[in-house]
Amino acid sequence: MKEGKVMKVTANEHIPVALERTIELLAPALSVSSPYLIDATIGLGGHTEALLEKFPALHVIGIDRDKSALEKATTRLARFGSRATVVHALYDHLSQVANNQGVSEVHGILFDLGVSSMQLDQSNRGFAYSLEAPLDMRMDQSTGVSAGEVINSYSHEELTRIIREYGEEKFASRIAARIIDARKAGPVTSTTALAQIVKESIPAATRRTGGNPAKRTFQAFRIYVNNEIEVLDRAIPTALELLAINGRMVVLSYHSLEDRIVKRAFTEVSSTDVPHGLPVEPKPARYQLLTRSSEGASAHEMEVNPRAQSVRIRAIERRAA
């Protein structure tokens, strides 16, 4: 790349978010003789590929619920042979997956949360509000209910709760009411139809800022049909217990609901149980925060890779049993 020239990522490129920072945070834990890392959301395998190249003794167990992503990651990582193991599973099962591989503790864990670039770019998956597609939004299309089933069968109260709770959308009730009205003429079956319903539900003055008005509603239905919040709430404590002493975990999250869960779990295990001011010597916390608060991507990365604009990075290290 020539100096001063910025090459932006195109829609067909899949550049891992915060790759350099992720490697930097994990590196001290992966410098042992035979390190193991769990990539809990392996996706297309970009982070794992870079880590395997950087650390020649590293073994990675990659997990994903998306079978299509796993096929692509398996192909991408084939050159690493037995150093890369790819497993179809939800990331709240990561302890069971590790045990099945004969691994009782790991030196690194990576979570790259949210919807992947591949899922957004595949128009038939229904994740993108700008692409015409059936309303699916399932990360694992072999199980569960689709967003379309939810949108066309749930009550106004249920739809309002989903949109408000998981999308943090203040016009949730209006959007739900318009969905109910639209259903009277026939099922709402496409992403563009839902996006138009959302647009018509939000006042014009509000639509002028903040990007596409459908973003929060699409996020809400995607989180709901994939049970993302509940799964993450179970996964983070399980992952923390799986870390070896001096092991490190990095989490990349992309909206406030995810980041709050990670922050709360990290704060709980990195704090002492003794109230401030008592004349008692507190035991050192078992975990130590590596990031004082959540970090964002660099200005340069956000300019080059638009997918990095909303990322929040948190990291923690296990210090004691």
> Which pLDDT score, from 0 to 100, does residue 77 have?
98
Contact 91, 249 (CB under 8 A): no
Residue 115: exposure state from Cβ atoms within 10 A (0-12, 13-18, ≥19): buried
- Reported in sequence order, the residue ranges of the chain that DSSP labels E, i.e. its strands, are 36-39, 59-64, 84-88, 106-112, 243-253, 287-289, 312-318
Q: Which residue has the tokens 């990365």?
A: 301
> Which pLDDT score, from 0 to 100, does residue 11 have?
39
Residue 12: exposure state from Cβ atoms within 10 A (0-12, 13-18, ≥19): exposed
> Which pLDDT score, from 0 to 100, does residue 24 have?
97
Q: What is the pTM of this model?
A: 0.89
Q: Where are the domains of the chain?
A: 19-118+228-318, 141-225
The answer on pLDDT for 282 being more than 70 is no
Mean pLDDT, range 275-302, rounded to an integer: 83
19-118+228-318 CATH pick, 3.30.70.3340, 1.10.10.10, 3.40.50.150, 3.40.50.2300: 3.40.50.150
The answer on pLDDT for 196 being more than 80 is yes
Neighbouring C-alpha atoms within 13 Å toward the C-beta of 125: 24
Residue 277's alpha-carbon distances to 267, 272, 273, 281, 285, in angstroms, are: 19, 12, 12, 10, 17
Q: Which residues pair with 28 in a beta bridge?
A: none
Q: Which residues pair with 36 in a beta bridge?
A: 59
State the pLDDT confidence band at 7, using cuts at 50, 70 and 90.
very low
Nearest Cα residue to 57 out of 78, 87, 27:
27
For 152-171, how does the pLDDT look when each residue is reduced to its tens digit (9 = 90+)? 999 999 999 999 999 999 99
Could you give phi then psi for residue 64, rounded to 5 degrees? -160, 150
User: What whole-number distance in Å separates Cα of residue 119 and Cα of residue 135?
Assistant: 13
Could you give phi then psi for residue 248, rounded to 5 degrees? -130, 150
Q: Which residue has the tokens 């997956």?
A: 97
Q: Which amino acid is at 320?
A: A
> Which pLDDT score, from 0 to 100, does residue 9 have?
41
CATH 1.10.150.170, applies to 141-225: yes
Mean pLDDT, range 276-287, rounded to an integer: 72
Q: Which residue has the tokens 């509940």?
A: 230
Cα radius of gyration rounded to whole Å, the chain = 21
State the pLDDT confidence band at 10, using cuts at 50, 70 and 90.
very low
Q: What is the DSSP string of 127-157?
A: --TTS--BS---SSTTSS--HHHHHHHS-HH
Contact 290, 315 (CB under 8 A): yes
> Which pLDDT score, from 0 to 100, does residue 143 have?
87
> Which pLDDT score, from 0 to 100, does residue 275 have?
60
15 versus 275: the higher-pLDDT residue is: 15
> Which pLDDT score, from 0 to 100, does residue 119 have?
59
Q: Which residues pair with 83 in a beta bridge?
A: none
User: What whole-number distance in Å separates Cα of residue 126 and Cα of residue 137?
Assistant: 5
- What is the percent of the chain where pLDDT is above 70? 89
179 versus 3: the higher-pLDDT residue is: 179
How high is the mean pLDDT of the chain?
Answer: 89
Mean pLDDT, range 10-38, rounded to an integer: 87
> Which pLDDT score, from 0 to 100, does residue 278 have?
61
For 289-312, how does the pLDDT look when each residue is reduced to its tens digit (9 = 90+)? 999 899 999 999 999 888 899 999
CA 176 to chain centre: 26
For 72-120, how does the pLDDT look when each residue is reduced to its tens digit (9 = 90+)? 999 999 999 999 999 999 999 999 999 999 999 999 999 999 776 655 5
| Run of H or E including 240 | helix 228-242
> Which pLDDT score, from 0 to 100, does residue 249 have?
98
Contact 214, 195 (CB under 8 A): yes
Burial annotation 237-267 (CB, 10 A radius, 16+ → b, else e): ebbbebbbeebbbbbbbbbebbbebbbebbe
The answer on pLDDT for 64 being more than 90 is yes
The answer on pLDDT for 273 being more than 80 is no
Mean pLDDT, range 241-263, rounded to an integer: 96
Nearest Cα residue to 259 out of 310, 220, 224, 214:
310
> Which pLDDT score, from 0 to 100, does residue 169 have?
95
